[in-house]
Amino acid sequence: MKLSVYATLGAAALLLSACAEPPQPPRPVPVKPPVEINGLWYLDQGWSDDARQWYYNTTQGSQIMRYDWFMALEDPQTGQPFVKSIPRYGYAAGTASGWNPNLLPVGFVKDTDPDKTEWFGMTCAACHTGDVTVNGKTMRIDGAVTTGDLYGFISGLSAAVHATVTSDAAFQPFATRVLGATATDQQKLALYNGLKAFDQSFATFVKDSTPDTPWGSMRTDAFGMIFNRVSVIDLNIPKNNRPPNAPVSYPYLWDAPHQPKVQWNGLLPNTTAFDALGRNAGEVLGVFGKVTLKPPADAAHYYYASTVRGTNLVDMENQLRKLRSPVWPDSLAGSVDIVKAAAGETLYKDNCESCHAILPRGETYSTAPIKMVSLFDWAQPDNAAAVLAAFNTICTKGVDAAVADKSISINYGADPKMAVDALCRTVDTGAIANVAMPPQLLGGTPLKNPDLAANLLSNAVIGAVFGDLVREPKLLMALLKGDDAPAPWLTASAPAGWAPESQTKGGTLDTTPLVKPGVKGTADHQKVIAALTGRGQVKPTVGAVPAGNRTVSALAKAQPTVSSKTTATKTATSADEALAAKIKELMAYKARPLDGVWATAPYMHNGSVPNLYEMLLPASQRSAAFRMGSTAIDPVKVGVDSASPAATFVYDTSKPGNRNTGHEFGAGLTDAQRWQLLEYLKTL
């Protein structure tokens, strides 16, 4: 029997234990040593510094505030430019380079419309770039979890704007910075009125985005924020707002483009470039991207105007496909204990690998296997009507009520709020009720009123992507080329004169038809439409469902194809069975490969467990509360360093959405085995 490399080297370590220099842990492929740039340490993740800086500083279409206004804004707490306060909210500070002439924090960029209006916005790098500090040295991990506090940032920005419009002593120097010293009173008055209008609208947005339980750093209710943004702001229907109370930890991005499903509950397919574009366009709309939701004027203009920069999103996704996980840096964090890691490898294979696949770092892969772990056991899993009735109880009365009536029992045990909110929330669809994206003749399903928030978001995303295809002809070719396309940063002249916002057109859409009137469309457009059709929107079923259950009636993936001889009863039964299967599939959380997991604390989908050691404990023995928010990690238990002075946010697991239950697969291990498994996890 062939011994594993860990077992072999573990035995050698025992023989050489008297040596002054312990052997280094085995690596599947050679790993370049950490590199220090501008005081930060970067690990070998397969990206060059140019690739990294391009990714940090390229717009995706987010527009928070006029760029000149933002850069002129002062933080009333510090008296300094507000842009310098962003790292105070936990976001990674930018480094000096030609790619970032204004020294913006990582993932905060300028976006320029065709009319040359400049905006300040975010990219995915803001939330998925993490600084990790150990032994006094800070590593910048690409694709890792930010320590950013999104609510803290937007509420702080709102306070700074309000302080500026409510004090002439604050407004006058602001106006001088924006307009210049020779500005007229009329110009200042126009600026004041514009800033006051922004103050009112942004304050409303912040109020409506206030969770009942603070998220703190490293987390946000992504679905809740996106649903509110599209249904409340873009549709202008305030009654659609719900407090975003199901926060999740930001997922790490290496391997993510290779997973067949994305989101913690596997809600979105991720098998084609079109799937990825739709998912990323939805992310843009959730972080201040703009979309105009109104019924298309005619078949020739069948799309929604948006600021989504599709070509940049495709380029970013292609680059992420090349991102590799960070290998535990022995020179910075301390050497792995090979003997324990050798024993831990066997424990991993026996206890973990069935859910968390191992991705050999030295091999090329196109799929990162995942496993969906069901949240519930259904009392009658083969009875579609019983599953639909249980789901109706979950959505209308809550999970506890469904447990009480014994229609479900708890299986995995993790906090279910995120999965439940994603599937159950309904909204008024307002002006675009009855609009199908794509059009019905291409397989689209009209929105009902009310309808699932997920359906509304899907409708908005597909319409925005169609609009981007009109605005940017290169987008189609970028989608078809995939990651064989030239690296975008090679076509930019950095550092001299490089302007990320100039790479992709953007702005309003008003005249260009998707296809010529009376023509079905070019072959390329038909490819895009065919690829998008059916991949996003969840189509309603016409089957028999519990009375009054709008959520259930809206959730079915597709109406089954039936012959003209099929009875209505059989049709309803088939539709119900398909719907029940989909509900069971989505009431689950994703288990993914754990390469680089050491750099991704806190753990569980909602960030409720501070370190990997506690992930191996029974839930009853985990921390009921802990501090987080610091970049410092505990290299022993591997996770957030709650003792760090910078860890100021107290995570309370008793709050709704914050439960730390579930994942008790290490509960039966001895403590010695937990430490062995922990040491092996460092090597993934």
Residues 555, 560, 563: CA angle, nearest 5 degrees: 155
Count of CB atoms situated within 10 Å of the CB of 306 = 30
Assigned domain for 416 exists: yes
Amino acid at 280: N
pTM for the model? 0.86
Burial 661-682 (b: 16+ CB within 10 A, else e): bbbbbbeebeeebbbbbbbbbb
Assigned domain for 595 exists: no
Encode pLDDT of 12-53 as tens digits: 332 223 333 444 555 555 778 999 999 999 999 999 999 999
Report pLDDT for 536: 38
Closest CA to 311 of 474, 453, 544: 474
Q: First vs last Cα of the chain: how many Å apart?
A: 23
Report the C-alpha gap between 404 and 420 in whole angstroms: 17
Report the C-alpha gap between 258 and 593 in whole angstroms: 11
Encode pLDDT of 624-664 as tens digits: 999 999 999 999 999 999 999 999 999 999 999 999 999 99
Q: What is the mean pLDDT of residues 186-201?
A: 97
Q: Which phi and psi angles does 248 have, rounded to 5°?
A: -130, 155
Give me 134's structure tokens: 């150990």
Encode pLDDT of 549-583 as tens digits: 444 444 433 333 334 444 555 666 788 899 899 99
Q: Is 426 helix (H, G, I), strand (E, B) or coil?
A: strand
Question: pLDDT class for 492, splitting at 50, 70, 90?
Answer: low
Q: Could you tell me whether strands 376-378 and 408-410 are parallel, antiparallel, or unpaired per DSSP bridges? A: antiparallel
Closest CA to 157 of 226, 245, 81, 218: 81
Report the C-alpha gap between 649 and 472 in whole angstroms: 43
Report pLDDT for 29: 58
Encode pLDDT of 389-405 as tens digits: 999 999 999 999 999 99
434 with 446: CB under 8 angstroms? yes
Report pLDDT for 524: 42
Burial 522-538 (b: 16+ CB within 10 A, else e): eeebeebbebbbbbbbb
pLDDT surpassing 60 at residue 111? yes
Assigned domain for 466 exists: yes
Which residues are bridge partners to 591 per DSSP? 371
Which residues are bridge partners to 133 per DSSP? 138, 632
Q: What is the mean pLDDT of residues 209-236?
A: 94
Assigned domain for 182 exists: yes
Assigned domain for 278 exists: yes
Assigned domain for 226 exists: yes
Give me 538's structure tokens: 């969840």
Report pLDDT for 103: 92
Four-CA torsion 181, 185, 188, 193, nearest 10 degrees: 180
Pure H helices in 338-398: 338-351, 384-397
Query: Which distant-in-sequence residues (6+ apart) come within 8 Å of 484 by Cβ?
Result: none
Q: What is the mean pLDDT of residues 171-190?
A: 97
Give me 299's structure tokens: 């078949």
Q: Which phi and psi angles does 463 have, rounded to 5°?
A: -65, -40
Query: Which distant-in-sequence residues (6+ apart) come within 8 Å of 457 by Cβ?
Result: 226, 227, 230, 282, 285
Query: Which distant-in-sequence residues (6+ apart) come within 8 Å of 318 by Cβ?
Result: 482, 483, 485
Closest CA to 684 of 589, 604, 612, 610: 612
Helix then strand count (H, E) for the chain reads 22, 23
Higher pLDDT, 531 or 464: 464
pLDDT surpassing 90 at residue 609? yes
Report the C-alpha gap between 392 and 402 in whole angstroms: 9
- Cis amide prior to 450 (ω within 30 degrees): yes
Give me 185's structure tokens: 């009173």
Four-residue CA torsion sign, 166, 171, 174, 175? positive
Question: pLDDT class for 490, splitting at 50, 70, 90?
Answer: low
Report pLDDT for 363: 75
Residue 238, classified by CB atoms within 10 Å of its CB into exposed (0-12), middle (13-18) or buried (19+), is exposed
Which residues are bridge partners to 292 per DSSP? 305
Residues 530, 536, 537: CA angle, nearest 5 degrees: 105
Four-CA torsion 201, 206, 212, 214, nearest 10 degrees: 180
Report the C-alpha gap between 89 and 156 in whole angstroms: 9
Encode pLDDT of 286-300 as tens digits: 999 999 999 998 888
**Considering its fold, how many domains does the chain have in total?**
1
Report pLDDT for 476: 87
Give me 48's structure tokens: 């060059």
Closest CA to 531 of 579, 457, 465: 465
513 with 301: CB under 8 angstroms? yes
Report the C-alpha gap between 309 and 76 in whole angstroms: 33
Where is 197: in which H helix or E strand? helix 185-208
Q: Is 523 helix (H, G, I), strand (E, B) or coil?
A: helix
Higher pLDDT, 496 or 466: 466
Token pair 């009942």 is found at 212
Question: pLDDT class for 2, splitting at 50, 70, 90?
Answer: very low
Percentage of residues in the chain having pLDDT higher than 90: 74
Where is 111: in which H helix or E strand? strand 108-112
Assigned domain for 641 exists: no
**Domain limits at 485?**
31-325+361-375+411-538
Give me 634's structure tokens: 């505990």
Report the C-alpha gap between 438 and 168 in whole angstroms: 50
Higher pLDDT, 557 or 342: 342
Q: Could you tell me whether strands 261-262 and 248-249 are parallel, antiparallel, or unpaired per DSSP bridges? A: unpaired
Token pair 């090679």 is found at 490
